[in-house]
């Protein structure tokens, strides 16, 4: 690999023919940087004349800390903001999970630009795209898409880089960066294009492709409404791309449905360069597919119009515990506590609760943290019913803590157990989710949607199977309103409509780990996935928080909708320009998604 500076100079000041391979471009393969087919400088200049801003040359986010490389970003900024999701979103070359910025060759060699410069590894481009368009308008997106189609480029679409399958980056590729398409429009009344005038929706929000959830929540709050959206540190997840196209879960989903259930209209640029409006009246098949059929697959969404809901007071609850254990694996007291939580999960769902349980089983002698962060807007049940359902679990936890000891399986300490009334969802979101963190490391995930009947039939088995999983999270983001939507109404995996819980686990590794060490983490994930499949064999997984190691990904992520989704993809993407890891149509391409198979 050439150092990053050499790559940039090569791109800017020479034609590719000087250093290109002599092998003719294979029409069955994408054109990559370094291939003879890669556009020359004058062709990129022509593209630059058609778009709003100069072309960008994405760089790995750690590159300013390497003295041989020049960058407008200061190394101190890198150190201060490495784990800040919004800072990363503002870097065209950054992903939220750093492993997707690297590239592992078949022989195990790793190309990367590490944060830890003391590793004495040269900073290289890794999997960061070479050049791209900083799109400001739909016409910018159209020009970039037409250019990528004309030159058969390996195309990448990126907003924030929140992606656990690496769909927002690829080695030697061409990038369309939609992060700065930030238009937000509030409509007192909204009639979808092509709909009869009687089909009126009150108080909707149209969000541009680059709007992040913290921006959308601020806009909704300013109009005294609530929008169903994602929750992450800093609110940095994008609102109008892969989040809803994969389904889009939220703590509000049990009350108001998933993201896909709240979308009223979309605008999208297809591989032919057309800018289409899609809703239930026009291009309804595309509208169906984009709501759950996976991001980066059918075109580039440039805006989304969401229904909103009245802002009302909510009940919020927060439980924080620590557990000290001297046994290997999950301690008996942790097992009892979590088993009870699984047992009461259906009742919590029926009482309107939605939210997140976060913990890690740990190792002997470790202080374990378990946190519950749930809310309910109290739409269909009274405050007293909701409070009673969660209070009974807290009473059980307090009894466990009172009777706990190292001799009986560990010490349980409850550091907080509160049930409070808040003015709005916005008050809860700004209090608990606006700090930075959560990103900037290497991680691989595994996950499964757990159907209600699986939990009700054998909650002890569910708890026993889940607890040993590393980095376990247990999300109460299904059931309720999610289960009341007809599974055929959107392209979303029907498994969501039977699910009660989305459970996620993961493995991490340090910078500089060898390919073999990274593979060992992958083997742990594979084993966990096998156990989850055995627990709920007829279910599926959430495409946005899932594993590249899924043995049957197309069925797992899309279920019985897969054939219809693929037919729609081929209709609107005849050039097969939009191919992403484990997405619809990916089975027709090699592992790197560069050549047809």
* Token pair listed for 26: 């294979």
**Which comes out higher in pLDDT, residue 363 or 567?**
567
SS3 category, 317: strand
Q: Which residues contact 67 (CB under 8 A, 6 or more apart)?
A: none
Give the Cα separation of 509 and 511 in Å (integer).
Answer: 7
Q: What does the angle CA 244 – CA 248 – CA 253 come to, to the nearest 5 degrees?
A: 135
Q: Looking at the predicted structure, is the pLDDT value of residue 476 above 50? A: yes
Q: What are the beta bridge partners of residue 187? A: 204
Query: What CATH number was assigned to the domain covering residues 4-177?
Result: 3.30.43.10
Helix (H) or strand (E) holding 476: strand 473-476
**For residue 499, which of 565, 550, 455, 549 has the smallest C-alpha distance?**
455
Asked whether the beta carbons of 422 and 428 are under 8 A apart, the reply is yes
Q: What is the DSSP letter of 530?
A: H
**Residues 314 and 377 sit within 8 Å (Cβ to Cβ):** yes
Please provide the average confidence, as pLDDT, over all residues in the chain: 92
Confidence of residue 361 (pLDDT cuts 50, 70, 90): low
Tell me the average pLDDT across 104-117. Answer: 96
pLDDT given for residue 14 in this prediction: 35
* Position 461 pLDDT exceeds 90: yes
d(CA 19, CA 5) in angstroms, rounded, equals 16
Torsion of CA 139, 144, 147, 153, to 10 degrees: -160
Q: For residue range 136-191, what is the model confidence (pLDDT) as tens digits? A: 999 999 999 999 999 999 999 999 999 999 999 999 999 999 999 999 999 999 99
Chain position carrying tokens 């880089």: 161
Strands 499-509 and 442-451: antiparallel
The answer to which of 66-75, 135-144, 380-389 has the lowest mean pLDDT is 66-75
Q: Per-residue pLDDT tens for 515-563?
A: 999 999 999 999 999 999 999 999 999 999 999 999 999 999 999 999 9
Q: What pLDDT band is residue 326 in, cutting at 50, 70 and 90?
A: confident
Q: Summarize the confidence of residues 252-261 as an average pLDDT.
A: 97
Please identify which residue in the block is written with the tokens 């392209």.
491
To which residue do tokens 């519950």 refer? 372
For 392-451, the three-class secondary structure string (H helix, E strand, C coil) is: HHHHHHHHHHHHCEHHHCEEEEEEEEEEEEECCHHHHHHHHHCCCCCCCCEEEEEEEEEE
Q: By C-alpha distance, which of 372, 367, 368, 369 is closest to 394?
A: 372
At 94, list the tokens: 């950054």
Residue 15 has pLDDT above 90, yes or no: no
Cα 310 to chain centroid distance, Å, stands at 27
**Secondary structure (3-state) at 546:** coil
Cα gap 453→359, rounded to integer Å:
24
**Which of 3.40.960, 3.40.50, 1.10.1160, 3.30.70 would CATH assign to domain 313-423?**
3.30.70
Q: What is the pLDDT of residue 484?
A: 97
Mean pLDDT for the stretch of residues 300-304:
98
Candidate CATH numbers 3.40.50.620, 3.20.20.70, 3.40.50.970, 3.30.465.10; the one for domain 184-310 = 3.30.465.10
Please return the burial class of 229, using the count of CB atoms within 10 Å of its CB with bins 0-12, 13-18 and 19+.
buried
**pLDDT of 68:** 65
Average pLDDT over residues 99-107: 97
Q: Which two tokens stand for residue 28?
A: 């069955």
Considering only CA atoms, which of 231, 481, 214, 539 is closest in space to residue 355? 231
Sorted by where each begins, the domain ranges of the chain are 4-177, 184-310, 313-423
Dig out the tokens for 2 from the structure.
Answer: 């050439």
Do domains 184-310 and 313-423 share one topology? The answer is no
What is the model's pLDDT at position 4?
40
Give the Cα separation of 416 and 443 in Å (integer): 29
Query: What is the C-alpha separation between 434 and 313, in angstroms, rounded?
Result: 20
Strands (E), 74-224: 103-104, 110-111, 131-134, 155-158, 174-177, 184-190, 201-208
pLDDT reported for residue 139: 98
Largest CA distance in the chain: 75
Tokens of 145: 């898409």
Confidence label for 18 from pLDDT (cuts 50, 70 and 90) = very low
Using a pLDDT cut of 70, give the percent of the chain over it. Answer: 92
| C-alpha Rg value of the chain to the nearest Å | 24
pLDDT value of residue 360: 67
Is residue 130 within 8 A of residue 93, CB to CB? The reply is: no
Residue 1 clears pLDDT 50, i.e. is over it:
no
**Where does the pLDDT of residue 436 fall: very low under 50, low under 70, confident under 90, or very high at 90 and above?**
confident
Burial of 363 per CB tally in 10 Å (0-12, 13-18, 19+): exposed
Is residue 71 very low, low, confident or very high in pLDDT (cuts 50, 70, 90)?
low
DSSP states of 19-58: T--SSPPPTTB-B-TTSTTSPPHHHHHHHHTTSSS--B--
Query: Quick one: average pLDDT of 307-336?
Result: 90
pLDDT band at 7 (very low <50, low <70, confident <90, very high): very low
Which residues face 300 on adjacent strands? 269
Structure tokens at 350: 């029926």
Q: Token pair 């169906």 is at which residue?
A: 288
Both structure tokens of 505: 């686990």
Tell me: pLDDT of 12 over 50.
Answer: no
Render pLDDT for 218-253 as a digit per residue (tens, 0 to 9): 999 999 999 999 999 999 999 999 999 999 999 999
Three-class HEC string of 103-126: EECCCCCEECCCCCHHHCCCCCCC
Average pLDDT over residues 26-46: 93
With a cut of 60, say whether residue 27 has pLDDT above it: no
And the tokens for 209? Answer: 């492709």
Share of the chain above pLDDT 90, in %: 84
* C-beta separation of 26 from 595 below 8 A: yes
> Is the predicted pLDDT of residue 331 greater than 90, yes or no?
no
Residue 387 has pLDDT above 80, yes or no: yes
pLDDT at position 432 over 80: yes
Contact 527, 230 (CB under 8 A): no
Q: What are the tokens at 210?
A: 């680059």
How far separated are the first and last CA of the chain, in Å rounded? Answer: 26
Cβ neighbours of residue 2 closer than 8 Å, sequence gap 6 or more: 10, 124
């Amino acid at each position: 690999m050439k150092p990053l500076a050499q790559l940039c100079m090569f791109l800017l000041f020479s034609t590719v023919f000087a250093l290109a391979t002599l092998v003719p471009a294979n029409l069955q393969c994408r054109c990559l940087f370094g291939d003879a087919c890669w556009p020359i400088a004058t062709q990129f200049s022509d593209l630059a004349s058609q778009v709003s801003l100069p072309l960008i040359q994405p760089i790995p986010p750690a590159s300013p800390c390497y003295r041989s490389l020049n960058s407008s970003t200061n190394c101190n900024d890198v150190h201060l903001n490495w784990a800040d999701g919004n800072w990363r979103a503002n870097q065209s070359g950054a992903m939220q999970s750093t492993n997707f910025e690297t590239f592992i060759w078949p022989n195990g060699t790793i190309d990367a630009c590490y944060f830890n410069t003391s590793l004495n590894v040269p900073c290289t481009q890794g999997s960061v795209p070479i050049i791209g368009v900083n799109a400001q308008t739909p016409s910018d997106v159209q020009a970039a898409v037409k250019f990528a189609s004309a030159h058969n480029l390996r195309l990448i679409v990126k907003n924030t880089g929140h992606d656990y399958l690496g769909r927002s980056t690829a080695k030697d590729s061409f990038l369309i960066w939609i992060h700065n398409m930030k238009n937000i429009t509030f409509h007192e009344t909204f009639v979808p294009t092509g709909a009869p005038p009687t089909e009126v929706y009150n108080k909707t929000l149209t969000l541009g492709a680059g709007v992040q959830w913290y921006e959308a929540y601020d806009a909704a709050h300013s109009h005294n409404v609530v929008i169903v959206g994602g929750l992450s540190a800093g609110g940095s997840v994008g609102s109008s791309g892969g989040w809803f196209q994969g389904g889009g879960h939220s703590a509000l989903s049990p009350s108001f449905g998933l993201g896909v259930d709240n979308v009223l209209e979309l605008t999208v640029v297809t591989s032919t360069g057309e800018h289409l409006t899609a809703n239930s009246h026009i291009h309804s098949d595309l509208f169906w597919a984009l709501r759950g059929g996976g991001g980066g697959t059918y075109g580039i969404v440039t805006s989304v119009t969401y229904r909103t809901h009245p802002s009302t007071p909510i009940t919020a609850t927060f439980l924080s515990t620590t557990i000290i254990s001297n046994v290997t694996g999950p301690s008996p007291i942790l097992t009892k506590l979590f088993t009870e939580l699984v047992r009461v999960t259906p009742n919590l769902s029926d009482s309107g609760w939605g939210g997140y349980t976060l913990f890690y089983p740990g190792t002997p002698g470790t202080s374990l943290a378990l946190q519950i962060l749930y809310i309910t807007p109290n739409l269909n049940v009274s405050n007293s019913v909701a409070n009673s359902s969660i209070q009974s679990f807290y009473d059980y936890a307090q009894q466990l803590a009172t009777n706990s000891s190292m001799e009986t399986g560990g010490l349980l300490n409850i550091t907080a157990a509160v049930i409070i009334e808040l003015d709005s969802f916005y008050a809860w979101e700004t209090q608990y989710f606006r700090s930075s963190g959560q990103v900037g490391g290497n991680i691989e995930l595994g996950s499964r949607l757990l159907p209600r009947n699986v939990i009700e039939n054998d909650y002890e088995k569910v708890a026993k199977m889940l607890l040993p999983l590393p980095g376990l999270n247990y999300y109460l983001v299904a059931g309720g309103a999610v289960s009341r939507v007809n599974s055929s109404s959107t392209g979303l995996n029907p498994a969501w409509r039977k699910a009660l819980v989305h459970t996620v686990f993961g493995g991490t590794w340090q910078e500089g780990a060898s390919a073999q060490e990274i593979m060992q983490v992958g083997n742990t994930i594979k084993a966990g996935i096998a156990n989850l499949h055995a627990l709920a064999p007829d279910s599926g997984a959430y495409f946005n928080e899932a594993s590249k190691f899924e043995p049957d990904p197309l069925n797992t992520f899309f279920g019985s909708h897969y054939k219809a989704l693929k037919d729609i993809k081929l209709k609107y993407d005849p050039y097969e320009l939009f191919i992403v890891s484990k997405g619809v149509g990916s089975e027709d391409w090699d592992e790197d998604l560069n050549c047809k198979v």
